[in-house]
Chains A and B, each alone.
Chain A
Amino acid sequence: MDAPLLELRRVSKTFGPTRALDDVSFALRAGTIHALVGENGAGKSTLIKTVTGLHPPSSGSILVDGQEVRFRSTAEAQRAGIAAIYQEPMVFPDLSVAENIFISHQDRPPWIDWAGLEREAAALIARLGVALDPSRPAGELTLAEQQTVEIARAIGLRVRVLIMDEPSAALSEHEVGRLHGIARALRAEGVAVLYISHRLEEVFALADMVTVMRDGRHVSTRPRSEVTQAGLVSEMVGRDMEGRFARTPSRATGQRVLAVRRLGRTGVFEDISFELAAGEIVCLAGLVGARRTDVALALFGVAPADRGTVEIEGRPAIIRSPRDAMRLGLAYVPEDRRKLGLALGLSVEANITLPRLEAYRDGRGLLDRARERADALRFRDAMRIKAAGPEVPVGTLSGGNQQKVMLAKWLNTAPRILIVDEPTRGIDIGAKAEVHRILRDLAGEGVAILVISSDLPEVLSLADRVLVMREGRLVGDLPGARTSEEAVMRLAVGAGEAAA
């Protein structure tokens, strides 16, 4: 066999006393899609940073075409043909697609040939099998299209190793399909793609090779044909996760807590009617753009509805602001925890106590910090949040732990109706199972829960009932126990018959 394109030999990386990478060896070959899987904190991100020159390895060596290299910056790594793209595309929103693609090309003449630039950009994009106008500002594009621009930028630099760090996490089903098409096109051109993902379905659909990492160590590298889903999961978590998605019987008491009738907001969603019972978990499924989040924002008062009524525990409810909603016992855990969910620079405890800060006033009207701390510690223990202490900024926590802090923040308001929006997107399998456990426990305590999720296995394992939305309308109400991924998907894409 020829020399691998990129090889890591016994690479370690330490930060102070912590070993983020511990003696990692594996190789990437040209013309393959190589999946890298592992829980959050397994060392995948550190690995990327080490390979792309952001953090040089503490020991061990990196080889390109059998030659040892030592990158001191991402620009050096790029010149050697190694580039990375991330979940959140990094584009300049005010520059055009073409300008974005050629932004880091330094070998061009000092004057700009605009027509040529756009022609070349169009050619690069076409190689990815995508249609995109090169003169459009990148800020107008969807996330998936911005990603395409980043990939085009990389191949314009004659990249030979492209690292994709959870590129599909924020994409809709359809867009994921297109992304996979791009990855395959790159493979056909001889590029080695290192594809990092939490979604095992995707790994099995796409990868030629699969490498598992855990706790900074390399666990295994095998051809896809030799791995099974269950085997992969147990290697990732280091324990057998059999039955982690097992269904639990519904604890719904039948007592109606929320009744939504003919809710509508002009141009966004229409005629939404459903009910929620105490102890029930209802999942709201649908494709990205089905306007599920908009319904949640209307119920929570962020963007109130124009029409229709909401009843909470039998009484008509008028919700014009999040404060109104919170008074009525509603809580909404948003999907975007960095922008909407958590103040990342503030401490874990300040985030957890934020929605009911008034309750922490002592007799003199001052904040009772001891009680804030006590509550934060209680949630940390109950939800197994891994943080150095309640006073550390929440932004220093891993994604899964941030997600738990966000849940703790809203559970702190003791809601009777909890709406969670994509509660497990982008977090690892272990944290995901714990989030599911927390939601089930809450339902067991009688909280009515509405889960917006695009993750169908999650929907099916959690839901007592599945509501399906398409293009701003409710198109299905399926019993959770007797439905299937196919049934939900048919409704979501508009291919099936309306269910009862």
Chain B
Amino acid sequence: MTALRERLTSWEGFLLLVLVLLYAWNALASPVFLTLGNQVNLFQLSIEKVIVALAMTFVIINGEIDLSVASVMGLAACSFGWLHGAGVPAAAAIPLVLLLGLACGGFNAFWVVRVGLPSLVVTLATMIAFRGLARVLVEDRGIGGFPAWFNALGQKPLIGPFPFAILLFFAMAALAWVLLHRTVFGRQVTVIGASRAVAEYSGVDVGRVKTAVLVASSGVAALAGLLFAARVGAVRGDVALGFELDIITIVLLGGVSIFGGVGSVTGTVLAILIVLSLRNGMALANLTGHIQSGVLGVLLILSVMVPVFRGWFQRVLHRPEAVS
């Protein structure tokens, strides 16, 4: 079967192989690794990042970048804390914060789509601005004391051993897969990233699709910020600081091209699993956080080289075709 062969020799196939080896190595190195408790814990610690990575997959395939996601996470968490401090009930604060997230995305989209500025510049600016806003809201304090049911969302198992956020992640991953690979919208996201001019000449409403992607990115980031607040039970001005780099690293490692037009949700999910189990495995082996960061730095370089690997990998495994 050529289709099967193609699948096994794709970048996703390679990631799967790496993941299996990593799991085998970790399982041999530590008896704890494969336990359900550890697997849940491994996800739990980074759940906000991996949720945002799903949305970032769309942004980068669309040929844009969103550097402001971590600041939106921080702003969402802090404005939730601020509303809580001002006496607004959590049940009312949650939708307000989500709306604020969508508004942040709308603000990014305005400059990128309407004005035509590069998203790299726009979201770099809003990364600073949104973070500043978050710090203004909570100043130097930590705000906590949220209702128990809210903290439970991030801390207590909901079904079996799985907390709400993990279940949400898998539901969102499935939704993202369907959206990207099985809908008109997903196809348009890919085509615009592959060639904006071709999409325009084909009657695709490029502005609308780009707006939707950027708004969704901030919306999901706001949701992730709330999950962070629930899991930690308190917020500070530096919530999720620097997360955007980890998120982008994961997405690029997953085989999404930084130039747009290429990538899959499967790739991102596999990359998430690789990064999480790598970190977890190193932690179990008592490697310090600094070494973990170093290894992830190497991973970032490798992930930027994905296009090179992809070509090399396919040349080795596929018979070269004639070029006339």
Question: Which residues of chain A have a CB within 8 Å of any CB of chain B?
Answer: 15-20, 40-46, 300, 302, 321-323, 325-326, 332, 334, 339-346, 350, 354-355, 357-358, 360-361, 365-367, 369, 396, 398, 409
Contact = CB atoms under 8 A, between A and B. Distances in A.
B124 interface: no
A453 to B, nearest CB: 19
Contacts of B195: 339, 343-344
Interface in B286-324: 319-324
A247 B30 CA distance: 80
Interface string B178-194: 10001110011011001
B320 A357 contact: no
Contacts of B204: 354
A322 B204 CA distance: 8
Given A20-B324, A340-B198, 15 more contacts: A16-B321, A20-B323, A45-B323, A322-B202, A323-B205, A339-B197, A342-B198, A344-B195, A346-B194, A350-B191, A354-B191, A357-B187, A366-B178, A367-B187, A396-B321
B133 interface: no
B261 interface: yes
A332 B198 CA distance: 12
B262 interface: yes
A165 B55 CA distance: 45
A20 B203 contact: no
Contacts of A326: 203
B324 A46 contact: yes
Contact of A367 (B182, B199, B201, B319): B182
A343 B198 contact: yes
B139 interface: no
Q: Which of B190, B199, B203, B321 has its CB near the most chain A CB atoms (within 10 A)?
A: B203
Interface of B: 178, 182-184, 187-188, 190-191, 194-195, 197-205, 261-262, 319-324
A273 B190 CA distance: 39
A302 B200 CA distance: 8
A43 B324 contact: yes
Given A345-B262, A354-B191, A367-B183, A16 B202 contact: no
Nearest to A361: B184
B191 A343 contact: yes
7 contacts: A16-B322, A44-B324, A300-B201, A322-B200, A334-B201, A366-B183, A369-B182
A341 B324 contact: no
A-B complex: 7 closest residue pairs judged by Cβ atoms? A18-B322, A343-B194, A16-B319, A15-B322, A41-B324, A322-B203, A323-B203
A398 B204 CA distance: 26
A45 B182 contact: no
Contacts of A358: 184
Contact of B323 (A46, A323, A369): A46
B321 to A, nearest CB: 7
A355 B187 CA distance: 11
Contacts of B200: 302, 322
B201 A340 contact: yes
Q: Which of A42, A323, A367 has its CB near the most chain B CB atoms (within 10 A)?
A: A367
B203 A17 contact: no
Contacts of B201: 300, 302, 322, 332, 334, 340-341
Contact of A340 (B184, B187, B197): B197
Contacts of B182: 366-367, 369
A356 to B, nearest CB: 8
A270 to B, nearest CB: 25
Contacts of A360: 184
Nearest to A342: B198
Contacts of B184: 357-358, 360-361, 367
Contacts of A44: 324
A341 B190 CA distance: 16
A40 B323 CA distance: 11
A355 B182 CA distance: 17
Nearest to B262: A345
Contacts of A355: 202-203
B198 to A, nearest CB: 5
Contacts of A20: 322-324
Contacts of B183: 365-367
Contacts of A45: 323-324
Nearest to B178: A366
A398 B322 contact: no
Contacts of A16: 319-322
